[in-house]
Amino acid sequence: KQEVTQIPAALSVPEGENLVLNCSFTDSAIYNLQWFRQDPGKGLTSLLLIQSSQREQTSGRLNASLDKSSGRSTLYIAASQPGDSATYLCAVNSGSARQLTFGSGTQLTVLP
């Protein structure tokens, strides 16, 4: 059974810092990995999707990497802004049913 872990559970940084969020998964036989952002009381917004054949994806100040063999992904946020404050969720698509398994998320606070 796939298990996804995100560390740390919460992170607080001053504005302007570069930061890295971590995601690890137990079964490396994945189809893809997706990073989401969730604002309080809202649904999830897809940020980046990395297919199993890819090593990284970039969108603006965000860069996500994937190392399937070690079961890890990182989300790098450059020059953080207060508007980046949210919960960031990692989800892995795996298994015969191709289901997404979510981590518990990292709650990020960027202080002005």
Partner 1 sequence: ETGVTQTPRHLVMGMTNKKSLKCEQHLGHNAMYWYKQSAKKPLELMFVYNFKEQTENNSVPSRFSPECPNSSHLFLHLHTLQPEDSALYLCASSQAYNSPLHFGNGTRLTVT
What gap in Å lies between CA 97 and CA 40, rounded to an integer? 30
Nearest to 86 by CA among 96, 77, 97, 74: 77
CB of 110 to partner 1, least distance (A): 23
Within positions 34 to 63, which residues make up the interface with partner 1, using CB under 8 A?
A: 34, 36, 41-46, 49, 51
Torsion sign across C-alpha atoms 63, 43, 105, 84? positive
Q: Give 42 or 61: the residue with its C-beta nearer to partner 1.
A: 42
Stretch in the footprint of partner 1 (CB under 8 A) among 19-27, 58-66, 67-75, 99-107: 99-107
Question: Which one-letter DSSP state was computed for residue 42?
Answer: S
Binding residues (CB under 8 A) for partner 1: these are 4, 31-32, 34, 36, 41-46, 49, 51, 89, 91, 93, 97-105
